[in-house]
Amino acid sequence: MSNAAPLVECIVNVSEGRDEAILAAFSGAITSVAGCKLLHQDAGAGAHRTVFTFAGTPEAVFKAAYNIYEVAAERIDMRQHTGEHPRIGAVDVCPFVPIRGISMADLVARTQVLGEVLGAELNVPVFLYEESATAPHRKNLAAIRRGEYEGLSDRANHPDWQPDYGPQLNPKFGATVLGARPFLIAWNINLAPEVPVSVAKDLAAKLRGSGRKGVPGLFPGLKAIGWHIPEFGRCQISCNVVDAEATDLAKVYLTAVGLAEAVGAKVTGSELIGLIPEKYLRRAGKSFSFGGEREEELEAAVAVLGLNDLGVFDWRGRVLEGLF
């Protein structure tokens, strides 16, 4: 792929984390498209959710995304789905991120076309969000997903919550949220096995920008919830860093360590979901390295964030720019 070619990333979240055959069908839907590269696949059995990260030319990425929706419409029945992660449909959320050579406005227009096609051809109720949102109250993913799949029928006749494209309801598929947005870091902070989910939820409320009950939290650029993941046998603070420029991962992590210790709990490390631009990982390690060299800062970030907690973490395969 030429360095001058426009580059788009898609980080699609599907409501399947257990069936290897279905996951293989999803990965094949991506890799079968010329000009599109599958960068990372992160499956969670407890969350019953998998995140596929892929990138390429705009045409290739949007073709692969459509293929994902085709597989989901055929292979996933949301009437049978349960999992720890909030979700609204078989393809829960499908964000597109401009990486190089494409404007946000162009990406928004492409998401509108995709949404119209999904509604017309696959009978999928589509909600546009983030930069693609058609109204301010529909910009935030959490607002659209409130009530989750089970609450879709209750909101079907509400004038503020009609899908942008497709039917009001599709019981088998549920609905989907898609749109263009800036880069987001998906990242989980791990708690010791004995820490209860109530503590995880309380810590998440203290950290996230929205806080709780009108009291703001500590990091405006952070969204977070507390949950229990059975396959890890522990709770996590599940984080989305929505303003990566203003939110230092090391500060969030060390603050979580301090807050946990104050209530007699322990943070053991963290887990990065998908990929991360190098500058954000390096920044996390910058204050903990001595020479200021690239590799030293990246290794320091892995150490300070405890990214080896749940398994070996090799930053060389997780830094976005290094895969092109």
Show which residues are catalytic.
Answer: 85
Gap between the Cα atoms of 252 and 10, Å rounded: 26
E strands, 57-201, are 91-100, 126-128, 176-180, 185-191
CB atoms near residue 175 (< 10 Å): 27
Cβ pair 263, 199 in contact under 8 A: yes
Gap between the Cα atoms of 297 and 284, Å rounded: 8
CA dihedral 240, 245, 251, 256 (to 10 degrees): -10
Cβ pair 185, 244 in contact under 8 A: yes
DSSP classification of residue 194: T
Closest by Cα among 39, 116, 13 to 321: 39
Gap between the Cα atoms of 190 and 256, Å rounded: 10
Please report which helix (H) or strand (E) contains residue 249, including its range.
helix 249-262
Token couple for 201: 């939820």
Gap between the Cα atoms of 70 and 235, Å rounded: 34
Residue with tokens 């279905």: 22
Largest pairwise CA distance in the chain = 60
